[in-house]
Structure 1
Amino acid sequence: MASSTQGNSNPALPYNASTTSPDVEAVQSSKDDSVYPADAFSLPRRILFIVTVCISMYINQLGLCNTLTTLRIIGDSFGISNPGTLSWLIAGYSLTIGTFILIGGRLGDEFGNKKMFVLGMSWLSLWSLVAGLSVYSNHVLFVFARVFQGMGPALTLPNALGIFGKSFSEGPRNMAFAWFSAAAPLGAVTGLLFGALFAMAWWPWIFWSQAIGVAFVAAFAAWTIPDLPLQEEQVRPLRQKLDRLDLPGGAAGVTALVLFNLAWNQAVVVTWREPYVYVCLILSFIFGALFFYIEIYRANHPILPIAAFTSDIMFVFACTAAGWATFGIWLFYVVREALDIGGQTPIQLAAWFTPILVTGVASALTVGSIISKVPAPYIMMVGQIAFLVTSIIMAFRPPDSIYWTYFFFGTIIATIGMDTSLPAAIMIFASVVPRQYQGMGASMVMTIVNYSISLGLGFAGTIETNINHGGHTKAELLHGYRGALWFSVGLTGLGTVLSLIFLLKNYRKQKSNGNEAEEDTPEKHQS
């Protein structure tokens, strides 16, 4: 478990002074000039470095949103219109990010964050190229390409956080993480805009342009990102590194997550009447049980230390899962309703989402500046309420309403939910788990975020297809979309209640600790 405190442990550092072991600290203190190499950069070089690393989050959101408004265009080129099949073009991408991101962080721990970052960008570039080339094949290849695309961000995201943690001292590190969060809305708007523009010419250029751009980033990152000081685990023999990767546990966990998600998303396509859907669901529980058995009883260096799962952590994970599953449903069905019912165009929708450029960046930077002053449970509560309010607004929104009513305010509030819930979840994780487990914090939270988006779409798609009576008319389509949106309201309502319980629980704990401290003070004076 020693590797859990290295590599991508550093995302927790803005909220805790250090998660590095005392032995490593002693070594680092004797080499202060090389511990945080980015502190010595000139301002232009520092800006270039931050932009290069933040672009991982930018590209992640771009890859999610560049397909969002062009699903029908891509589907029509393959001759498919089934909403369940179309949802796989979004869900498959998030599925692999959520499934493999924890493993991506562990690989960075053992083999180096910079190496995994560059490898992830190269991998994403390759499968973006294949996604475009699938126009000459069929939609099956396209879905597989989207699924494999997701493995790129699964490598780049946790290792980007690890790179920042190792490159900056605590002061500059806080704003680096704030800019990392701010890159998300920028990438989302870019994906919506250029996805629509390239689709007007020929949709494969959505992915070919992405492949070219990401390949350039991979090469540029190899030069811009400094060579980080070697950690203890990176000088071990290969056999020890492989042992510390917990390959049996990782394989069982990945299989369980993939099968569970496959069952729910495929049920939208073929319904639950197909036996293999039930088989996948049952097998996912079997592999899940095997995963926990390996982690608890067999793994020498578990990829997911069960001891880290306190009641506080379970609250954080439940709130995060509910909020981000809601966001995935909200984004997918708001776009579908606008395109299929309201008659908006992809370009028009890209323009409609542009306010998140301002509110998203402002929210992220605000949270970055106040997160050390305002208790994280309060910020988590704000995020859940924002998700709840925007879900209610969009569930009530008439398809023919003007932009400046429901859509404008719903979009702004959704962005606040995004950029408050993620940093708050990471901060809470860092503050409540033992020091040796903080290394998995950011990777675990981001696993929950991305996997919840994919799984939420599977749940919502099942509801939609069971109530839309085939979706042959606009009225039937609208009924199905509304059912999915009201499900998101219920889901984020649950998250809001859980965040309130967690807030009260945290308040009572602080009050109890304060009373104990007051009781100890007179005793000390008497002694």
Structure 2
Amino acid sequence: MIYSQSQLTLSVEGTLNKQAARSTSRHVDEVAQTAFPHAQESIHTSPQDDDARNTANSLTSRLDVEGSEHRVMQSTPPELSNFANEIVFVLLCSMGLLLFGVFLGDVLVNQLIFPRALRVTEGSTPWLVGSFLLANGVTVIIAGSVIDLLDPKLPMTLAFGWLVIWNLVLVFSIHPGRAILFFVARGMQGVAVGVLQASSMSLLGRLYAPGLRKNRIFSLMAAMAPIGFLIGCLKGGALEAHLPWIFAANAILSGLCVTASIWCIPAFAPASNSSILEDFDGLGALCAAVGCGLVIFGLTQGAPSGWQPYTYSTIVAGMLCFGLFYLAEQRAARPLIDNRLWTTPGFTPLAISYFLGYGAYIGGWMFYAVRFFLSIQQKAPITVALYLIPNLVSGIAATWVVSRTLHLVPGHWLLAVGMIAFTMGPVFFLPQTATTTYWALAMPGIALVTFGPDLTFAAASIFITSSVPKSFQGAAGSLLVTIQNLSAAIGTALADTVGQRVNHGAGYDLDLGALRAIWWLSLGMAVVAALICAIFMQIPALNALSLGYVK
């Protein structure tokens, strides 16, 4: 292992100080033995000598703790040339979550404009987002395991290049006769983002052991999705009259990332000397991908189609595929997800609460908060985007708070607080009317709910990636993203169904009563998630001293 000059200096100074402290303690003992050679069993040292010994022992103990904390803090990994390289590397690894938010935001803020530009029916409207989530969910669950067997640099660079191509396709697909091409290109965006998310988890898991540095990096990543959503909304709102330029800007950003990834991402040797086909769990990957695809398709298409029998059939078939996936994983020589993760204490309640929390946030609140501003309050897309600026401020604040508390506060309490933050969105939006001012309820609600994804993603991702070997980092992180995608799809499907049941408007448009019913659903899901975290989970503070890191 390579140590920096500062580490060697601290180590030498700590050793000398501890030796001095122990020497002081030994000197006190020698003085006592010399002064009282015949009465050691009945006569003790003076209070001053006891104080000296206690001071020496205290100094030694404190130096041990400080050395431990320094080891947990770590330094720039030797694979990265310097701190500036590390900053660019971490930002590139964060682009998967950032672009996930951007690609959702720039379409959602224009959710009333794109259907008119493409001239699609109401039943096709959910696929503006559903095509992206479907492809992302199918890809990430496979990519995580594949990338763990490869050098993650290559697929990450190719994914950025893939985004350049398909964003350019989207530029020319915004036309009444090209709706199918638009949906396909949106799906290709989801494929690339899935590869980026899996690659970043694999890279960060290999470079960083549990400790303060890893906590702070994952805290930064956790803020990327809400910040990316704000950036997407601002960009989409500003370019509402020039829709093709939304995707042209995405292509330019992706091109810059291609260049940066070539220079700043370190290369890794493959995790295995055998061929990928020998190690890869093909049957498990097929069952997981088909199951995820069928479930998301059935849920996305269910509400707009009136829950026709084929939607039920696809969901049931998808659940059966998940059952086959479980059986395949038990028999696989190298399963997609390390089987030790399933039996890790706290994992099951974590997965359930995370699923409910993100379903409440993305599927039950975020989509419909934007729709409330657009359709109920009749705001312009750029105004709605500006309304979401507290996302940025709260995201930065939450990142700072999380990075300072992850190693001090038990993980289940951080998750519980994050789930409570998810409730703030519906709590502040339920009393709103068409004439409620932004500053009264919407602004504090948006500011507080942003703490939810920051706290929960950071705590959950560190817990999961620290519970499996380095060779499974991408797959473990991909499991977390898959839970997010499924929860978003299921949350949106449930919300659409509830909204249409109580809707007093016409067609796919939802009135205020329907939106309130959806927010009640979101509130209930988030409260249940918080209770699960508080009652059924016991996760220690997330650092290398308390969390057993699997090497």
TM range (shorter): 0.7 to 0.9
Q: Give the alignment's TM-score, normalised by structure 1.
A: 0.81
How far did 1:404 drift? 0.8
Q: 1:279 to 1:164 in 2, by over 3 A?
A: closer
Q: What do residues 134-156 of structure 1 show as CA deviations (whole Å, max 9, x unaligned)?
A: 22333232222212211111111
Contact 2:198 2:475 in 1 (8 A): no
Contact 1:92 1:454 in 2 (8 A): no
Aligned with residue 260 of structure 1, among 284, 295, 301: 295
Q: 1:34 to 1:207 in 2, by over 3 A?
A: closer
Report the counterpart of residue 37 of structure 1 in structure 2. 79
Is 1:313 aligned with 2:313? no
Report the counterpart of residue 402 of structure 2 in structure 1. 367
Is 1:293 aligned with 2:332? no
Residue type matched to 2:87 in 1? I
Matches of 1:338 and 1:35, distance apart in 2: 45
Matches of 1:430 and 1:220, distance apart in 2: 26
Matches of 1:146 and 1:358, distance apart in 2: 29
Is 1:461 aligned with 2:496? yes
With CA pairs under 8 Å and 6+ residues apart, which has the higher RCO, 1 or 2? 1
RMSD: 2.7
Matches of 1:350 and 1:34, distance apart in 2: 37
Q: 1:432 to 1:164 in 2, by over 3 A?
A: closer
Matches of 2:333 and 2:404, distance apart in 1: 39
Is 1:187 aligned with 2:222? no
Helix, strand or coil: the match of 2:113? Answer: helix
How far did 1:167 drift? 4.3
Range with greater deviation from structure 2 (300-309 or 332-341): 300-309
Range with greater deviation from structure 2 (387-396 or 257-266): 387-396
How far did 1:231 drift? 4.3
Report the counterpart of residue 64 of structure 1 in structure 2. 104
Matches of 1:171 and 1:306, distance apart in 2: 27
Matches of 2:495 and 2:278, distance apart in 1: 39
Q: Note the 1:198-217 alignment, pairs <5 A.
A: 198-200=239-241, 202-217=242-257
Q: Note the 1:503-514 alignment, pairs <5 A.
A: 503=537
Q: 1:166 to 1:224 in 2, by over 3 A?
A: same
Matches of 2:174 and 2:320, distance apart in 1: 37
Q: How many residues align?
A: 463
Q: Note the 1:151-166 alignment, pairs <5 A.
A: 151-166=191-206
Contact 2:198 2:474 in 1 (8 A): no
Matches of 1:371 and 1:506, distance apart in 2: 11
When you count helix as a share of all residues, which structure comes out higher?
Answer: 1
Matches of 2:465 and 2:192, distance apart in 1: 26
Identity of aligned residues (%): 25
Q: 1:162 to 1:293 in 2, by over 3 A?
A: closer
Report the counterpart of residue 107 of structure 1 in structure 2. 146
Report the counterpart of residue 463 of structure 2 in structure 1. 428
Residue type matched to 2:369 in 1? V
Bigger Rg, structure 1 or 2: 2
Q: 1:90 to 1:174 in 2, by over 3 A?
A: same
Range with greater deviation from structure 2 (47-56 or 344-353): 47-56
Contact 1:131 1:142 in 2 (8 A): yes
Q: What do residues 118-169 of structure 1 show as CA deviations (whole Å, max 9, x unaligned)?
A: 1221222222222232223332322222122111111111212332344457
How far did 1:345 drift? 1.0
Contact 2:76 2:86 in 1 (8 A): no
Aligned with residue 132 of structure 1, among 145, 167, 171: 171
Matches of 1:325 and 1:265, distance apart in 2: 14
Q: What do residues 345-397 of structure 1 show as CA deviations (whole Å, max 9, x unaligned)?
A: 11111111111211101202321222111111010000011112322222232
Q: What do residues 152-205 of structure 1 show as CA deviations (whole Å, max 9, x unaligned)?
A: 1111112123323444575644433333223333322211111111222x2122
Report the counterpart of residue 120 of structure 1 in structure 2. 159
Report the counterpart of residue 309 of structure 2 in structure 1. 275
Matches of 2:271 and 2:295, distance apart in 1: 36
Q: 1:499 to 1:45 in 2, by over 3 A?
A: closer
Aligned with residue 226 of structure 1, among 259, 266, 274: 266
Range with greater deviation from structure 2 (107-116 or 118-127): 118-127
Contact 2:356 2:529 in 1 (8 A): yes
Contact 2:215 2:406 in 1 (8 A): no
Report the counterpart of residue 480 of structure 1 in structure 2. 514
Helix, strand or coil: the match of 2:450? Answer: helix
Contact 1:259 1:280 in 2 (8 A): yes
Helix, strand or coil: the match of 1:67? Answer: helix
Matches of 1:45 and 1:431, distance apart in 2: 24
Helix, strand or coil: the match of 1:383? Answer: helix
Contact 1:101 1:447 in 2 (8 A): yes
Q: 1:473 to 1:499 in 2, by over 3 A?
A: closer
Residue type matched to 1:130 in 2? V
Report the counterpart of residue 23 of structure 1 in structure 2. none
Residue type matched to 1:73 in 2? I
Q: Note the 1:376-455 alignment, pairs <5 A.
A: 376-429=411-464, 440-455=475-490
Q: Give the alignment's TM-score, normalised by structure 2.
A: 0.78
Helix, strand or coil: the match of 1:112? Answer: coil
Residue type matched to 1:280 in 2? T
Matches of 1:429 and 1:473, distance apart in 2: 39
Aligned with residue 491 of structure 1, among 522, 525, 550: 525
Helix, strand or coil: the match of 2:187? Answer: helix
How far did 1:312 drift? 1.9
Contact 1:327 1:387 in 2 (8 A): yes
Q: What do residues 305-339 of structure 1 show as CA deviations (whole Å, max 9, x unaligned)?
A: 44532362110011111111111121100110110
Aligned with residue 216 of structure 2, among 170, 175, 178: 175
Contact 2:144 2:474 in 1 (8 A): no
Q: 1:356 to 1:193 in 2, by over 3 A?
A: same
Q: What do residues 425-462 of structure 1 show as CA deviations (whole Å, max 9, x unaligned)?
A: 12333566789876643222222123211221122112
Matches of 1:35 and 1:46, distance apart in 2: 8
Q: Note the 1:237-252 alignment, pairs <5 A.
A: 237=274, 240-252=275-287
Q: 1:431 to 1:305 in 2, by over 3 A?
A: closer
Contact 1:342 1:399 in 2 (8 A): yes
Aligned with residue 388 of structure 2, among 329, 348, 353: 353
Q: 1:86 to 1:262 in 2, by over 3 A?
A: same
Helix, strand or coil: the match of 1:269? Answer: coil
How far did 1:469 drift? 4.6
Matches of 2:306 and 2:184, distance apart in 1: 21
Q: 1:278 to 1:102 in 2, by over 3 A?
A: closer
